[in-house]
Chains A and B, each alone.
Chain A
Amino acid sequence: MIPGSFDYHRPDSVGAAVKLLVDFGDGARVIAGGHSLIPMMKLRMADLDHLIDLQGINDLKSITVSGANVTIGAMVTQHELIANEALFSMAPIVREAALQIADPQVRYVGTLGGNVANGDPGNDMPGLMQCLDASYTVVGPNGSRDIAARSFYEAAYFTERQDDEILTSISFKSKKGGYAYEKQKRKIGDYATAASAVLIEKDGGNCTAASIAMTNLSDTPVCPQEAAAALIGTALDEASISAAVTAAVNAIDPAEDNRGPVEFKKYVAGIMLRRAIERATARA
């Protein structure tokens, strides 16, 4: 469990970091909290010559709330996501989900940017950001561009981000209404066996907006529009919820691992989603 040798860089601006990426090409990787990358390096599954640490870039460390718009710097830690009251008032589901990630020690170091950029299907934040319909800003040698979270993930560890781009911030609009993040895991610190993020808005007794995303149940997060559609315009009755759950379970493609076989994962994915919908509905 010892990585191969590499050079360490600690730039103080995004521009400098991008330049290092361009200069060193394939042999360079940026590191945020390191909870995914460092174990891969120790297992020598990630073999790199240059490690570019983003900890020295202060521009990436703030949470900004402006009207209904929330922007979170890529280097904001999970702990800060939990502690920030302004963020909580705009999107309480972020705190609820972050509290279910790993443990406090990991959350003091693990970042939102690293969590969403790495493309690990086990990470919780990609699904949550799809649920929030967030947008990621990436900066490369040709300037910056925005990519919707819902179209960012291509396959496990493959994303829309180019190798010479750095994900710098995450933005979304404030979400009213009910919310819930339900996660089944084997123990504290584990990735999800199945997890669901749900946002629901109601007017009178009727659902006016809904958003659903699922984590660790395919090689990317899954945000099934047909499942959300099954709820919108309904009274969130049993039949609608069942239709949404069925649509979501049809959209996932879990793999067997030590957490259990496919049949089990599909079943508990439905259970987690049903619980999330019911809890979000009660809060809406």
Chain B
Amino acid sequence: MNEMAPPKTERAAALKGLGTSRKRVEDARFTQGKGNYVDDIKMAGMLFGDFVRSPYAHARVKSIDTEKALAVPGVHAILTAADLEPLGLHWMPTLAGDKQMVLADGKVLFQGQEVAFVVADDRYAAADAVELVVVDYEELPVVVDPFKAQEEDAPVLREDIADQKEGAHGPRRHHNHIFTWEQGDKDATEAVISEADVVAEEMVYYHRTHPCPLETCGCVASMDKVNGKLTVWGTFQAPHAVRTVASLISGIAEHNIRIVSPDIGGGFGNKVGVYPGYICSIVASIVTGVPVKWVEDRMENLMATAFARDYWMKGRISATKDGRITGLWAHVTADHGAFDACADPTKFPAGFFNICTGSYDIPTAYLSVDGVYTNKAPGGVAYRCSFRVTEAAYLIERMIEILAIELDMDAAELRAKNFIKKEQFPYQSALGWEYDSGDYHTAWDKALKAVDYPGLRKQQAERLEAFKRGETRKLMGIGLTHFTEIVGAGPVKNCDILGLGMFDSCEIRIHPTGSAIARLGTISQGQGHATTFAQILATEIGIPADDITLEEGDTDTAPYGLGTYGSRSTPVAGAATAMAGRKIRAKAQMIAAYLLEVHDDDVEWDVDRFAVKGAPERFKTMKDIAFASYNQAIPGIEPGLEAVSYYDPPNMTYPFGAYICVLDIDVDSGEVDIRSFYALDDCGTRINPMIIEGQVHGGLTEALAIAMAQEITYDDLGNMKNATLMDFYLPTSWETPHYTTDHTETPSPHHPIGAKGVGESPNVGGVPCFSNAVHDAFKSFGLKQSHMPHDHWRIWKIAHDLGLHG
């Protein structure tokens, strides 16, 4: 007879499972400075690599003289393209089906491009030698404007493919053209728009910016010539994909490559791609026979590793007189820089931009995207968003606002009138997606009520009158956004990266004493996976989250997965975790039934145990079962208690949210005061409310940065103008406003626990919300569209151009 069982609720609480605001288990080491990042790795005999980079945006490399640099004491080797060419490694494939120079092969195509790789005893010797490498450049005409790049007589940037008429994504029509991607019905859309009562048309630019994780990119490569095994520790958001790609391009057998992502200090998409530094470190380790470390500095990170956005989006949206949207037409000129190094699922060269119909029931739509080369750094990664989703959300949420102006209708009302209705889900969008679930009207009504929307509009009208009377120089703006994301890439049938299906995985081992270890194919960069995935498991298998170790990032031990980006960890690996947990439970049920001497069907799951149906005092806890699985011979059941699940999601998930920002603008200085920000997120089932809140705070702060000041810009010669944190805007706590968070909960119908992902929602929804608020402040003076970022001088310029400076 077992002792008296504590009540169900008490036992459930002890598990710290789903829905618990469990404190992050990672924070103890991070807050004490005891994380283990790439740059913390120190190995005997380790050398350091450093790059010679191009000062020019477009130039022919006539010669490279390394003689003086090689004479610097402590310098071991200097690699150039000529050294990599015999290995076939002077170019490498990009994730987008293009190829990219590892080291300058005859010419350079952007400022900061890697030209030579110096390997030395320490960073100091390497930096001294970098200064002494003499590169003879012949400057070539520079093109930084993607429209000018497409002109007939534009300079030929990519001489390697100048005559190639077919790219990775179809025909190329110009030497600087990469691809054209079309979705939807062009003729039908143009017909609807030409016959519409009201049409709003605008060019909306989502400027170039950069994920700028606090930890820059880097790696330590170590080739063990005795056992032939290559180990690379690096800042990799997708370690398994890196292993496969490394094997394919180096020819080293995949079982002889071990990729390890240690602690990562933020990724935000910047650490998805493969960079020349990784390849050069690996080659240098092979050449020198000792480990080689390469860690870029902040300027290198901002200048040369993957940027985000840079989409020129032309939109046309049509509606009936009473505000029923009838069609959406969009064309994007996508500036990819010198190489197409976007990180998108292979079949989606513009990512999931075709989510640009947003939260609205738009019956007819057409989208085309043209990718273009320019003399800028390559990239185009999903900076805290699913692939190009934040660009799509920005376009539709700006177009809605502009349409509301054309209709002379309140933008909140226009949204409500056109939302996809709850009963329409699953909803087939005009541009090809099946939205799994949603309840937009409930969320919207809750948001408007929470902020007293009519009251805000009344205040705004009063402020405007006071402004006109000369009593204040501040205008009030109300920013509205209702966004729908598409995350959780994705179903293997249409989502792959370089042929690798975008499933994910979890492997669980229960130890004899009832604790456990789980390993996943993902990798946390600050998301708190060790905390939240243990919570999913705790609820599934009845072992306290505190008794579950979670490991990711070592390809020798973790099951294969496609990594962490695009809010895919919870939708895909989280599902794999639940499914693996259920396999454990299924086996545990048989063991429990055997131990309780009843039929399998006569026991039922009860929080942390199986109990005999109708006799709850007769039970076996998961702990009892785990022990039995290791020490009892049970007929027909293998010893041990382990499971692995590879989860191929049947669909994406579609988190959504309603955000409202109120701000005050000083029309004379252009300064902005964010008065309040209300964020309602619906991410389906909520695993850890505290972590969700933290994610929302962080994502909104990055959204604030992007919308208000953060940018990567170039002058006409291709000089990058924001290469330090003096000029590249990262908000501090001082600039960060207070956020009010809220939620509704519409579980995903196809996800095992109904979760949808949340890490990127606040960036996707936040950017249009801040931007719409700025536009709204000037709406009554006739402003329709002004490009981000809304920094002081650009806001001042809006006011100036509208005649508000007298």
Contact A268 B669 (CB under 8 A): yes
Mark interface residues in B329-358 (1 if CB within 8 Å of A CB, else 0): 000000000000000000000000000000
Contacts of B726 in A (CB 8 A): 190-191
Contact B796 A264 (CB under 8 A): yes
Query: Is B670 located at the chain interface by the 8 A CB criterion?
Result: yes
Contact A267 B722 (CB under 8 A): no
Contact A184 B123 (CB under 8 A): no
Contact A103 B124 (CB under 8 A): no
Interface centre among A188, A258, A259 (most CB of B within 10 A): A258
CA distance A264 to B128 in the complex (A): 41
The 7 A-B pairs with the shortest beta carbon distances in the complex, nearest first, are A260-B793, A2-B127, A1-B297, A264-B793, A188-B734, A271-B668, A258-B727
CA distance A190 to B713 in the complex (A): 19
Query: Is A261 located at the chain interface by the 8 A CB criterion?
Result: yes
Query: Is A44 located at the chain interface by the 8 A CB criterion?
Result: yes
Mark interface residues in A168-198 (1 if CB within 8 Å of B CB, else 0): 0000000000000000101111110100000
Given A191-B726, A259-B793, 8 more contacts at CB 8 Å?
A: A5-B128, A184-B792, A188-B732, A193-B792, A258-B713, A260-B791, A264-B792, A264-B793
A260 CB contact (under 8 Å) in B127, B735, B796: B796
Query: Is B67 located at the chain interface by the 8 A CB criterion?
Result: no
Using a CB–CB cutoff of 8 Å, the interface residues on chain B facing chain A are 123-124, 127-128, 131, 297-299, 668-671, 709, 713, 721-722, 726-727, 729, 731-732, 734-735, 791-793, 796-797, 800, 805
Contacts of A44 in B (CB 8 A): 131
Query: Min CB distance, A238 to chain B, in Å?
Result: 13
Mark interface residues in A256-284 (1 if CB within 8 Å of B CB, else 0): 00111101100110011000000000000
CA distance A187 to B708 in the complex (A): 11
A2 CB contact (under 8 Å) in B123, B670, B713, B722: B123
- Return the chain B residue nearest A191 by Cβ: B726
A259 CB contact (under 8 Å) in B127, B713, B731, B792: B792
Contact A1 B299 (CB under 8 A): yes
A188 CB contact (under 8 Å) in B669, B727, B735: B735
B124 CB contact (under 8 Å) in A5, A193, A271, A272: A5
Query: Min CB distance, A72 to chain B, in Å?
Result: 27
Contacts of B128 in A (CB 8 A): 4-5
CA distance A103 to B734 in the complex (A): 10
Tally of A interface residues using CB under 8 Å:
24
Query: Min CB distance, B622 to chain A, in Å?
Result: 49
B721 CB contact (under 8 Å) in A258, A264, A267, A271: A258
Query: Min CB distance, A115 to chain B, in Å?
Result: 16
Contacts of A186 in B (CB 8 A): 709, 729, 791-792
A261 CB contact (under 8 Å) in B123, B297, B793: B793
CA distance A103 to B735 in the complex (A): 13
Query: Min CB distance, A192 to chain B, in Å?
Result: 12
Query: Min CB distance, A154 to chain B, in Å?
Result: 24
Contact A187 B124 (CB under 8 A): no
Contacts of A263 in B (CB 8 A): 800
A-B contact count (CB 8 A): 64
CA distance A176 to B420 in the complex (A): 67
B671 CB contact (under 8 Å) in A1, A5, A184, A189: A184
Contacts of A271 in B (CB 8 A): 668-669
A-B contact pairs, 28 of them (CB 8 A): A1-B298, A4-B128, A4-B131, A5-B128, A103-B732, A184-B671, A184-B792, A186-B791, A187-B729, A187-B731, A187-B734, A187-B735, A188-B735, A258-B713, A258-B722, A260-B791, A260-B792, A260-B793, A260-B796, A261-B793, A264-B792, A264-B793, A264-B796, A267-B796, A268-B668, A268-B792, A271-B669, A272-B669
Query: Min CB distance, B786 to chain A, in Å?
Result: 15
Contact B796 A268 (CB under 8 A): yes
Contact B123 A268 (CB under 8 A): no
Query: Min CB distance, A99 to chain B, in Å?
Result: 12
- Return the chain A residue nearest B300 by Cβ: A1
A187 CB contact (under 8 Å) in B298, B732, B797: B732
Contact B131 A264 (CB under 8 A): no
Contacts of B792 in A (CB 8 A): 184, 186, 193, 259-260, 264, 268
CA distance A62 to B726 in the complex (A): 31
Contacts of B298 in A (CB 8 A): 1
Interface centre among B128, B722, B731 (most CB of A within 10 A): B128
Interface centre among A186, A188, A263 (most CB of B within 10 A): A186
Contacts of A191 in B (CB 8 A): 726
Contacts of A261 in B (CB 8 A): 793
Contacts of A264 in B (CB 8 A): 670, 792-793, 796-797, 800
Contacts of B727 in A (CB 8 A): 258
Query: Min CB distance, B790 to chain A, in Å?
Result: 12
Query: Min CB distance, A271 to chain B, in Å?
Result: 5
CA distance A264 to B800 in the complex (A): 9
Contacts of B800 in A (CB 8 A): 263-264, 267
Query: Min CB distance, A2 to chain B, in Å?
Result: 4
Contacts of A260 in B (CB 8 A): 791-793, 796
Query: Min CB distance, B277 to chain A, in Å?
Result: 15
Contacts of A268 in B (CB 8 A): 668-670, 792, 796
CA distance A2 to B805 in the complex (A): 46
Mark interface residues in A203-239 (1 if CB within 8 Å of B CB, else 0): 0000000000000000000000000000000000000
Contacts of B729 in A (CB 8 A): 186-187
Contacts of A5 in B (CB 8 A): 124, 128
Interface centre among A4, A44, A259, A268 (most CB of B within 10 A): A268
Contacts of B131 in A (CB 8 A): 4, 44
CA distance A7 to B525 in the complex (A): 40
Query: Min CB distance, A18 to chain B, in Å?
Result: 30
Contacts of B793 in A (CB 8 A): 193, 259-261, 264
Contacts of B669 in A (CB 8 A): 184, 268, 271-272
Contacts of A267 in B (CB 8 A): 668, 796, 800, 805
Query: Min CB distance, A207 to chain B, in Å?
Result: 24
CA distance A1 to B303 in the complex (A): 14
